[in-house]
Amino acid sequence: MAAAGGVRSRLHNFLEGADIGGGRRLVITGCKTSLKKLVVENAVIVFGRRGCCMCHVVNRLLLGLGVNPAVCEVDEEKEEAVLNELSIVNGGGIQFPAVFVGGKLFGGLDRVMSTHITGELVPILKEAGALWL
């Protein structure tokens, strides 16, 4: 597993993250990547298809709230495998984009939007340690 986090400069990360709408881009290398580990180690992680605009929307929204989500862009070929593994981790069905908060599946764009409007999202993010203040 390769995490794009610690080794690069913040500026590099920021520039690279720009086209995914923000956040830290993670790369899945090989079949040995433990998605479960990624989910557990990151307060907020977003899984989505490469180049997906809905994923971009989720990331922009989270970034606007002050969250720095980990973003996992999945190639079309690996899509099925990733979806399957995430379903196992979650114990149920998954669709892209999939947002995990505090190690558990939070939902898709629909849920992020609704909870944001009702004001429930920010407290949940704070509780998971994704937001301070």
| Interface residue list for other proteins (CB under 8 A) | 19, 21, 51-54, 56-58, 60-61, 64-65, 76-77, 80, 109-110, 113-114, 116-119
CB of 109 to other proteins, least distance (A): 6
User: Where do the H-state alpha helices sit in the chain?
Assistant: 10-17, 35-41, 53-64, 76-90, 109-118, 121-127
DSSP string across 27-41: B--STT--HHHHHHH
State in angstroms the smallest separation of the CB of 129 from other proteins. Answer: 21
Which is nearer to other proteins, 61 or 105 (by Cβ)?
61
Q: How far is the CB of 114 from other proteins (least distance, A)?
A: 5
For other proteins, the closer CB: 1 or 57: 57
44 three-state secondary structure = strand
Among 39, 64, 43, 56, CA closest to 116 = 64
Shortest gap between Cβ of 41 and other proteins (angstroms)?
25
